[in-house]
Structure 1
Amino acid sequence: MTYRITSVSLLLGLVAASLGNGIASADIPGKHPYYIHARSDLRQAELLLQKADESNVLQEEKAAYSKVHTAIAELDKAAVLDRKDINNYPAIDSSLKHLDKFRSIYKLLRSAEKNIEKEEDNHSAVGWRNRAKVNIEQAKHYVENAASKDVIDDLRASNY
Protein backbone atom coordinates (compact mmCIF):
# COMPACT_ATOMS: atom_id res chain seq x y z
CA MET A 1 0.00 0.00 0.00
CA THR A 2 1.47 3.34 -1.04
CA TYR A 3 0.50 6.71 0.36
CA ARG A 4 0.72 9.83 -1.70
CA ILE A 5 1.43 13.03 0.10
CA THR A 6 -0.33 15.79 -1.67
CA SER A 7 0.90 19.35 -1.51
CA VAL A 8 -2.24 20.32 0.46
CA SER A 9 -1.57 17.64 3.08
CA LEU A 10 2.04 18.71 3.35
CA LEU A 11 1.04 22.36 3.72
CA LEU A 12 -1.53 21.53 6.42
CA GLY A 13 1.03 19.48 8.32
CA LEU A 14 3.58 22.30 8.23
CA VAL A 15 1.00 24.85 9.39
CA ALA A 16 -0.09 22.60 12.26
CA ALA A 17 3.50 22.04 13.33
CA SER A 18 4.35 25.74 13.25
CA LEU A 19 1.20 26.69 15.20
CA GLY A 20 1.92 24.06 17.82
CA ASN A 21 5.43 25.39 18.21
CA GLY A 22 4.14 28.96 18.67
CA ILE A 23 1.64 27.87 21.28
CA ALA A 24 4.32 26.01 23.22
CA SER A 25 6.52 29.08 23.41
CA ALA A 26 3.70 31.45 24.42
CA ASP A 27 3.85 33.17 27.81
CA ILE A 28 2.57 30.57 30.21
CA PRO A 29 1.06 31.99 33.40
CA GLY A 30 3.82 32.13 35.97
CA LYS A 31 4.22 30.80 39.44
CA HIS A 32 2.31 33.62 41.08
CA PRO A 33 -0.26 35.40 38.93
CA TYR A 34 -2.14 36.73 41.95
CA TYR A 35 -0.04 39.85 42.38
CA ILE A 36 -0.62 40.67 38.70
CA HIS A 37 -4.37 40.64 39.40
CA ALA A 38 -3.73 42.77 42.48
CA ARG A 39 -1.76 45.22 40.37
CA SER A 40 -4.63 45.51 37.90
CA ASP A 41 -7.07 46.27 40.74
CA LEU A 42 -4.66 48.82 42.17
CA ARG A 43 -4.24 50.46 38.77
CA GLN A 44 -8.03 50.86 38.48
CA ALA A 45 -8.18 52.34 41.97
CA GLU A 46 -5.32 54.69 41.10
CA LEU A 47 -7.15 55.95 38.01
CA LEU A 48 -10.36 56.50 40.00
CA LEU A 49 -8.42 58.43 42.63
CA GLN A 50 -7.09 60.74 39.92
CA LYS A 51 -10.64 61.92 39.25
CA ALA A 52 -11.03 65.08 41.29
CA ASP A 53 -13.76 65.08 43.90
CA GLU A 54 -15.10 67.65 46.33
CA SER A 55 -12.53 69.88 47.99
CA ASN A 56 -13.20 68.47 51.47
CA VAL A 57 -11.80 65.05 50.48
CA LEU A 58 -8.89 66.07 48.24
CA GLN A 59 -6.27 65.61 50.96
CA GLU A 60 -7.37 62.02 51.65
CA GLU A 61 -7.62 61.28 47.93
CA LYS A 62 -4.08 62.50 47.33
CA ALA A 63 -2.76 60.47 50.26
CA ALA A 64 -4.62 57.34 49.10
CA TYR A 65 -3.36 57.88 45.54
CA SER A 66 0.22 58.12 46.82
CA LYS A 67 -0.11 54.86 48.78
CA VAL A 68 -1.73 53.03 45.85
CA HIS A 69 0.95 54.32 43.49
CA THR A 70 3.68 53.11 45.87
CA ALA A 71 2.00 49.69 46.18
CA ILE A 72 1.93 49.40 42.38
CA ALA A 73 5.63 50.31 42.22
CA GLU A 74 6.43 47.54 44.71
CA LEU A 75 4.50 44.97 42.67
CA ASP A 76 6.17 46.21 39.48
CA LYS A 77 9.57 45.27 40.93
CA ALA A 78 8.41 41.69 41.37
CA ALA A 79 6.77 41.66 37.93
CA VAL A 80 9.93 42.84 36.18
CA LEU A 81 11.97 40.07 37.80
CA ASP A 82 9.33 37.55 36.75
CA ARG A 83 9.19 39.02 33.22
CA LYS A 84 5.47 39.73 33.51
CA ASP A 85 3.71 42.28 31.35
CA ILE A 86 2.78 45.23 33.55
CA ASN A 87 1.44 47.57 30.90
CA ASN A 88 -2.23 47.66 31.67
CA TYR A 89 -4.61 50.52 31.14
CA PRO A 90 -7.95 49.41 32.55
CA ALA A 91 -11.11 51.27 31.72
CA ILE A 92 -12.77 53.03 34.61
CA ASP A 93 -16.34 54.12 35.18
CA SER A 94 -16.03 57.88 34.94
CA SER A 95 -19.68 58.35 35.89
CA LEU A 96 -19.03 57.32 39.51
CA LYS A 97 -19.49 60.21 41.89
CA HIS A 98 -18.58 60.71 45.52
CA LEU A 99 -19.59 57.82 47.75
CA ASP A 100 -20.04 55.37 44.83
CA LYS A 101 -16.53 56.21 43.67
CA PHE A 102 -15.08 55.61 47.14
CA ARG A 103 -17.05 52.38 47.47
CA SER A 104 -15.64 51.16 44.15
CA ILE A 105 -12.09 52.15 45.11
CA TYR A 106 -12.42 50.38 48.46
CA LYS A 107 -13.66 47.18 46.77
CA LEU A 108 -10.69 47.28 44.40
CA LEU A 109 -8.29 47.75 47.31
CA ARG A 110 -9.83 44.82 49.19
CA SER A 111 -9.63 42.65 46.07
CA ALA A 112 -5.96 43.57 45.60
CA GLU A 113 -5.29 42.83 49.25
CA LYS A 114 -6.88 39.38 48.97
CA ASN A 115 -4.86 38.59 45.85
CA ILE A 116 -1.50 39.49 47.34
CA GLU A 117 -2.26 37.56 50.53
CA LYS A 118 -2.04 34.32 48.53
CA GLU A 119 1.06 32.22 49.02
CA GLU A 120 4.07 33.48 47.08
CA ASP A 121 6.30 31.03 45.20
CA ASN A 122 9.09 33.50 44.54
CA HIS A 123 10.67 34.28 47.91
CA SER A 124 12.38 37.42 46.62
CA ALA A 125 8.92 38.84 45.80
CA VAL A 126 7.65 38.38 49.36
CA GLY A 127 9.26 41.62 50.57
CA TRP A 128 7.69 43.63 47.76
CA ARG A 129 4.35 41.96 48.41
CA ASN A 130 4.52 42.82 52.10
CA ARG A 131 5.43 46.44 51.41
CA ALA A 132 2.59 46.67 48.89
CA LYS A 133 0.21 45.24 51.50
CA VAL A 134 1.16 47.93 54.02
CA ASN A 135 0.53 50.63 51.41
CA ILE A 136 -2.83 49.10 50.50
CA GLU A 137 -3.88 49.08 54.17
CA GLN A 138 -2.92 52.74 54.48
CA ALA A 139 -4.74 53.61 51.25
CA LYS A 140 -7.87 51.90 52.59
CA HIS A 141 -7.64 54.07 55.70
CA TYR A 142 -7.49 57.26 53.60
CA VAL A 143 -10.40 56.11 51.42
CA GLU A 144 -12.45 55.38 54.56
CA ASN A 145 -11.75 58.90 55.81
CA ALA A 146 -12.62 60.45 52.45
CA ALA A 147 -15.90 58.51 52.26
CA SER A 148 -16.78 59.53 55.82
CA LYS A 149 -16.08 63.19 55.11
CA ASP A 150 -18.13 62.98 51.92
CA VAL A 151 -21.14 61.49 53.72
CA ILE A 152 -20.95 64.01 56.57
CA ASP A 153 -20.66 66.87 54.10
CA ASP A 154 -23.68 65.60 52.16
CA LEU A 155 -25.71 65.14 55.36
CA ARG A 156 -24.95 68.70 56.42
CA ALA A 157 -25.89 69.99 52.98
CA SER A 158 -29.13 67.94 53.06
CA ASN A 159 -28.17 66.02 49.94
CA TYR A 160 -29.87 62.86 51.22
Structure 2
Amino acid sequence: MKKIFVALAMTTSAFAAVTAHADEPGRHPFYAHAKVDLDQARWLIDHRPGDNWQMGRSEQVALREIDLAARDVTQLGLDVGKDMFRPERADAHPDRRGRLHDAAETLEKAHQDLAHEEDDPRVRGLQRDALRHVDVALHATRDAIREAGY
Protein backbone atom coordinates (compact mmCIF):
# COMPACT_ATOMS: atom_id res chain seq x y z
CA MET A 1 0.00 0.00 0.00
CA LYS A 2 2.82 2.37 0.89
CA LYS A 3 4.57 1.68 -2.46
CA ILE A 4 1.38 2.50 -4.37
CA PHE A 5 0.99 5.78 -2.47
CA VAL A 6 4.62 6.77 -3.17
CA ALA A 7 4.28 5.85 -6.86
CA LEU A 8 1.05 7.86 -7.11
CA ALA A 9 2.66 10.87 -5.43
CA MET A 10 5.66 10.72 -7.76
CA THR A 11 3.44 10.46 -10.84
CA THR A 12 1.30 13.39 -9.70
CA SER A 13 4.31 15.61 -9.04
CA ALA A 14 5.90 14.71 -12.39
CA PHE A 15 2.64 15.52 -14.22
CA ALA A 16 2.36 18.83 -12.38
CA ALA A 17 5.93 19.76 -13.34
CA VAL A 18 5.31 19.00 -17.02
CA THR A 19 2.05 20.96 -17.20
CA ALA A 20 3.54 23.91 -15.31
CA HIS A 21 6.44 24.08 -17.76
CA ALA A 22 4.10 24.18 -20.76
CA ASP A 23 3.15 27.82 -20.18
CA GLU A 24 5.11 29.37 -17.38
CA PRO A 25 3.75 32.90 -17.01
CA GLY A 26 7.19 34.34 -16.33
CA ARG A 27 8.96 32.78 -19.33
CA HIS A 28 9.07 34.68 -22.62
CA PRO A 29 6.40 37.27 -21.80
CA PHE A 30 7.99 39.62 -24.29
CA TYR A 31 6.75 37.85 -27.42
CA ALA A 32 3.11 38.53 -26.54
CA HIS A 33 3.94 42.17 -25.76
CA ALA A 34 5.85 42.53 -29.03
CA LYS A 35 2.91 41.11 -31.00
CA VAL A 36 0.51 43.62 -29.46
CA ASP A 37 2.95 46.46 -30.15
CA LEU A 38 3.23 45.33 -33.77
CA ASP A 39 -0.55 45.24 -34.11
CA GLN A 40 -0.78 48.76 -32.69
CA ALA A 41 1.97 50.08 -34.99
CA ARG A 42 0.22 48.52 -37.97
CA TRP A 43 -3.05 50.20 -37.07
CA LEU A 44 -1.34 53.57 -36.56
CA ILE A 45 0.33 53.43 -39.98
CA ASP A 46 -2.68 52.04 -41.84
CA HIS A 47 -5.32 54.26 -40.27
CA ARG A 48 -5.54 57.82 -41.41
CA PRO A 49 -8.70 59.85 -41.35
CA GLY A 50 -9.85 61.52 -44.53
CA ASP A 51 -10.81 60.34 -47.98
CA ASN A 52 -8.06 61.98 -50.02
CA TRP A 53 -5.04 60.31 -48.41
CA GLN A 54 -2.88 57.95 -50.42
CA MET A 55 -0.43 55.71 -48.64
CA GLY A 56 3.19 56.33 -49.55
CA ARG A 57 5.75 53.71 -50.53
CA SER A 58 7.54 53.86 -47.16
CA GLU A 59 4.29 53.22 -45.31
CA GLN A 60 3.58 50.24 -47.58
CA VAL A 61 7.05 48.82 -46.83
CA ALA A 62 6.50 49.35 -43.10
CA LEU A 63 3.15 47.53 -43.19
CA ARG A 64 4.60 44.58 -45.13
CA GLU A 65 7.51 44.25 -42.69
CA ILE A 66 5.22 44.57 -39.67
CA ASP A 67 3.06 41.75 -41.06
CA LEU A 68 6.15 39.56 -41.54
CA ALA A 69 7.42 40.38 -38.04
CA ALA A 70 3.99 39.66 -36.51
CA ARG A 71 3.92 36.28 -38.24
CA ASP A 72 7.39 35.44 -36.90
CA VAL A 73 6.60 36.67 -33.39
CA THR A 74 3.40 34.64 -33.24
CA GLN A 75 5.34 31.54 -34.30
CA LEU A 76 8.07 32.33 -31.74
CA GLY A 77 5.53 32.53 -28.95
CA LEU A 78 3.83 29.32 -30.00
CA ASP A 79 7.19 27.52 -30.30
CA VAL A 80 8.08 28.39 -26.71
CA GLY A 81 4.64 27.49 -25.38
CA LYS A 82 3.03 30.91 -24.92
CA ASP A 83 -0.65 31.63 -25.48
CA MET A 84 -0.26 34.21 -28.23
CA PHE A 85 -3.99 34.75 -28.53
CA ARG A 86 -4.61 35.95 -24.97
CA PRO A 87 -5.36 39.70 -24.91
CA GLU A 88 -2.40 41.88 -23.94
CA ARG A 89 -1.90 45.63 -23.68
CA ALA A 90 0.50 47.54 -25.86
CA ASP A 91 3.65 48.92 -24.22
CA ALA A 92 3.51 52.28 -25.98
CA HIS A 93 0.68 54.74 -25.53
CA PRO A 94 0.04 57.18 -28.38
CA ASP A 95 0.51 60.78 -27.29
CA ARG A 96 -0.98 62.66 -30.26
CA ARG A 97 2.39 63.71 -31.73
CA GLY A 98 1.21 62.08 -34.91
CA ARG A 99 0.36 58.59 -35.98
CA LEU A 100 3.71 57.93 -37.65
CA HIS A 101 5.70 59.16 -34.64
CA ASP A 102 3.54 56.98 -32.40
CA ALA A 103 4.05 54.02 -34.75
CA ALA A 104 7.83 54.52 -34.63
CA GLU A 105 7.77 54.59 -30.83
CA THR A 106 5.64 51.45 -30.76
CA LEU A 107 8.03 49.68 -33.14
CA GLU A 108 10.93 50.65 -30.87
CA LYS A 109 9.07 49.01 -27.96
CA ALA A 110 8.52 45.88 -30.07
CA HIS A 111 12.24 45.81 -30.86
CA GLN A 112 13.09 46.06 -27.15
CA ASP A 113 10.71 43.21 -26.36
CA LEU A 114 12.19 40.99 -29.07
CA ALA A 115 15.82 41.78 -28.25
CA HIS A 116 15.78 39.93 -24.92
CA GLU A 117 18.15 36.99 -24.78
CA GLU A 118 16.53 33.80 -26.02
CA ASP A 119 17.52 30.63 -24.15
CA ASP A 120 15.94 28.23 -26.65
CA PRO A 121 18.43 27.70 -29.49
CA ARG A 122 15.68 26.29 -31.76
CA VAL A 123 14.01 29.71 -32.12
CA ARG A 124 16.97 32.10 -32.19
CA GLY A 125 16.96 32.29 -35.99
CA LEU A 126 13.27 33.15 -36.03
CA GLN A 127 13.91 35.76 -33.34
CA ARG A 128 16.64 37.33 -35.51
CA ASP A 129 14.27 37.36 -38.50
CA ALA A 130 11.54 39.06 -36.48
CA LEU A 131 14.00 41.69 -35.23
CA ARG A 132 15.18 42.35 -38.78
CA HIS A 133 11.58 42.85 -39.96
CA VAL A 134 10.89 45.23 -37.07
CA ASP A 135 14.05 47.21 -37.84
CA VAL A 136 13.14 47.52 -41.54
CA ALA A 137 9.60 48.61 -40.57
CA LEU A 138 11.02 51.19 -38.17
CA HIS A 139 13.38 52.54 -40.82
CA ALA A 140 10.52 52.75 -43.35
CA THR A 141 8.32 54.50 -40.79
CA ARG A 142 11.05 57.08 -40.13
CA ASP A 143 11.36 57.56 -43.91
CA ALA A 144 7.59 58.14 -44.06
CA ILE A 145 7.92 60.76 -41.31
CA ARG A 146 10.61 62.59 -43.31
CA GLU A 147 8.59 62.30 -46.53
CA ALA A 148 5.56 63.80 -44.78
CA GLY A 149 7.69 66.68 -43.53
CA TYR A 150 7.07 66.10 -39.84
Pair in the same fold by TM > 0.5: yes
Q: Distance in 2 between matches of 1:93 and 1:33?
A: 19
* Contact map agreement 1:64 1:142 (CA 8 A) in 2: yes
* Contact map agreement 2:62 2:136 (CA 8 A) in 1: yes
How is 1:12-31 mapped onto 2 (pairs within 5 angstroms)? 27-31=23-27
Give, in angstroms, the shift of residue 139 of structure 1.
0.5
Give, in angstroms, the shift of residue 30 of structure 1.
4.8
Give, in angstroms, the shift of residue 28 of structure 1.
3.1
Matched pairs, number: 127
In structure 2, list runs of 5 or more residues that go unmatched. Answer: 1-15
Structure 1 residues 32 and 94 mapped into 2: Cα distance closer, same or farther (>3 Å)? Answer: closer
Q: Distance in 2 between matches of 1:49 and 1:90?
A: 18
> What's 1:50 paired with?
46
Using the size of structure 2 for normalisation, the TM-score is 0.71
SS of the residue corresponding to residue 56 of structure 2 reads: helix
* Contact map agreement 1:43 1:90 (CA 8 A) in 2: no
In terms of Rg, which structure is larger? 1
> What's 1:73 paired with?
71
- 1:150 paired to 2:148: yes
Q: Distance in 2 between matches of 1:60 and 1:143?
A: 6
Give, in angstroms, the shift of residue 89 of structure 1.
7.7
Q: Distance in 1 between matches of 2:136 and 2:88?
A: 23
Q: Distance in 2 between matches of 1:67 and 1:134?
A: 9
Give, in angstroms, the shift of residue 32 of structure 1.
1.8
> Pairwise CA RMSD of aligned residues?
3.0
- 1:140 paired to 2:142: no
SS of the residue corresponding to residue 98 of structure 2 reads: helix
Structure 1 residues 65 and 34 mapped into 2: Cα distance closer, same or farther (>3 Å)? Answer: same
In structure 1, list runs of 5 or more residues that go unmatched. Answer: 1-20, 153-160
> What's 2:121 paired with?
123
- Supply the AA of the counterpart residue of 2:105: K
